[in-house]
Amino acid sequence: MKRLNLLLLLCVLSILIYAEDKKKFGESITIKEISPVSKILEKPEEFVAKKILVEGRIIDVCEDKGCWLEISSDKKFQTLKCYGKQNGISFPADIKGKKAKIQGEIYKVELTKEKAIEYFKHQAEHKKEEFDSAKITGPTTLYFLKVFGAEIE
């Protein structure tokens, strides 16, 4: 009987330890169906103002204040930038490379040529890359995910 109780205790502790491996931010995730990032990027207008769940590996995190993270797509070389700052969510830098499930809402940002230059210059500085403003030839529309809740493994 003592062995059975000990075995049950070990099972419960294992479950609790596994549950603690997930870091949770913001609201609990309630959406079950995952929207592939590639589908969102293919036709972003269809997703604007819709609550969705995405999944991917964390490629980058804002190192200054943790206000955003970037997750990988199900297709190579695609990423989706996810902002938590609108909902008071800050992401730690140590989650880079981990798998994430993120619930949120796609939103659109339309930038003038000047604002697009500022935005892409800032992004290049963050990535320590060179930036050529001549490549920005006019207004730009960007799509982001406003994060309501996230689970990081």
Kindly state whether residue 5 falls inside one of the protein's structural domains: no
Instruction: Indicate whether 14 pLDDT > 70.
Output: no
In total, how many domains does the chain have? 1
Kindly state whether residue 7 falls inside one of the protein's structural domains: no
Domain that holds residue 98: 24-152
The CATH number covering residue 142 comes to 2.40.50.140
pLDDT at 127: 85
Kindly state whether residue 43 falls inside one of the protein's structural domains: yes
User: Each residue of 70-107: pLDDT tens digit?
Assistant: 999 999 999 999 999 999 999 999 999 999 999 999 99
- Dihedral pair phi/psi, residue 78, rounded to 5°: -110, 140
Kindly state whether residue 9 falls inside one of the protein's structural domains: no
Report the predicted TM-score, pTM, of the whole model to 2 decimal places: 0.82
Closest of 16, 7, 70, 66 to residue 41, by C-alpha = 70
User: Each residue of 136-147: pLDDT tens digit?
Assistant: 999 999 999 999
Kindly state whether residue 11 falls inside one of the protein's structural domains: no
Kindly state whether residue 12 falls inside one of the protein's structural domains: no
Q: Which helix (H) or strand (E) holds 42?
A: helix 37-42
